[in-house]
Structures are given as structure tokens and as C-alpha cells.
């Protein structure tokens, strides 16, 4: 079940996707991260001509939030064509701050169903120190 708050989070991720700088892959991703404070932080993917320097939308949202002083997170919405699930590197970044994060994944092309995951399922046996 997706709550009204989660619906709003998905709408914010959809909007953030409009800012994606996806000049090379053309694959646009938008994210919205709900912190325990109630504030929402957005992200989009930012590509580079030196491809390996590209940063995913998920990490942009987390780094924005952490820069603002946030450390505790509730849910992350991710919107892209075909409702892609977050890459492995981003999963590890999420696990640093929010091992129990709820991840909502939606398709940019359809209003329809939203896939929901717990980060534990996406990244079992995470690395931690
Ligand atoms: N991308 C994301 O923003 N998040 C992911 O979880 C996977 C991939 C971006 C990186 C690149 O700009 C484009 O999607 C294609 O890989």
C-alpha cells in the first residue's frame, strides 16, 4: 500500500526527473528522499562526457540531504522509464544511513503501480564497519 505521503514523494521524484542531465544515456532518473525531519530532498542523475564521473539520482538526493545536516531517513522514491531499481553502488550508499529505508519505484510513463522494497531486500548482508 502506498500512503498519501508516499504518493507525494513519487510526484516530487517525477518532477526532479525533469532536471536530469542525461545527455549521453538519455535515461532520466528522478528521486525524492523523505528525511525523518519531514523534509524532502530531491535528486536527478548528472552525467559527464567522462562517463565514469556520472552520479546517479539516488546518491544526489542522499548527498543533498546529508549536506543539509540530515542523518535519518524514512523513504526514497525513484522514477525512471520502466521503473528501474537502484544500482548496487547506490544501495550501499543508502545502507550507510538508512538500512531500513523503504524504496518506492515508479515508471515515468505510467501513473500505475508502484513497486515497494525494503533496502534489506535490495541489499542483504550489506558491508558495514
Ligand atoms: N542511473 C541512476 O540515476 N540511478 C540508478 O540507480 C541507475 C542508473 C543513471 C546513471 C546514468 O546517468 C543513467 O541512469 C544510465 O545508467
SS3 state of residue 120: helix
SS3 state of residue 24: coil
Domains of the chain (ranges; CATH) run 4-122 (3.40.140.10)
The residues annotated as belonging to the active site are 58
Which portions of the chain are predicted below pLDDT 70? none
Pocket residue to mutate for ligand 1, from 13, 21, 23, 29, most atoms within 8 A of Cβ: 29
Cβ–ligand 1 contact at 43 (below 6 Å): no
Query: Tens digits of per-residue pLDDT, 16-30?
Result: 999 999 999 999 999
pTM of the predicted structure, to 2 decimals: 0.97
Amino acid at each position: 500500500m502506498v500512503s498519501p505521503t508516499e504518493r507525494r514523494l513519487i510526484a516530487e521524484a517525477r518532477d526532479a526527473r525533469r532536471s536530469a542531465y542525461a545527455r549521453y544515456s538519455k535515461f532520466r532518473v528522478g528521486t525524492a528522499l523523505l528525511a525523518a525531519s519531514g523534509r524532502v530532498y530531491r535528486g536527478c542523475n548528472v552525467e559527464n562526457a567522462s562517463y565514469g564521473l556520472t552520479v546517479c539520482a539516488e546518491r544526489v538526493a542522499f548527498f543533498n540531504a546529508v549536506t543539509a545536516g540530515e542523518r535519518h531517513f524514512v523513504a526514497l522514491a525513484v522514477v525512471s522509464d520502466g521503473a528501474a531499481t537502484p544500482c548496487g553502488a547506490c544501495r550501499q550508499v543508502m545502507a550507510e544511513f538508512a538500512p531500513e529505508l523503504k524504496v518506492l519505484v515508479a515508471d515515468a510513463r505510467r501513473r500505475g503501480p508502484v513497486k515497494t522494497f525494503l533496502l534489506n531486500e535490495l541489499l542483504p548482508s550489506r558491508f558495514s564497519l
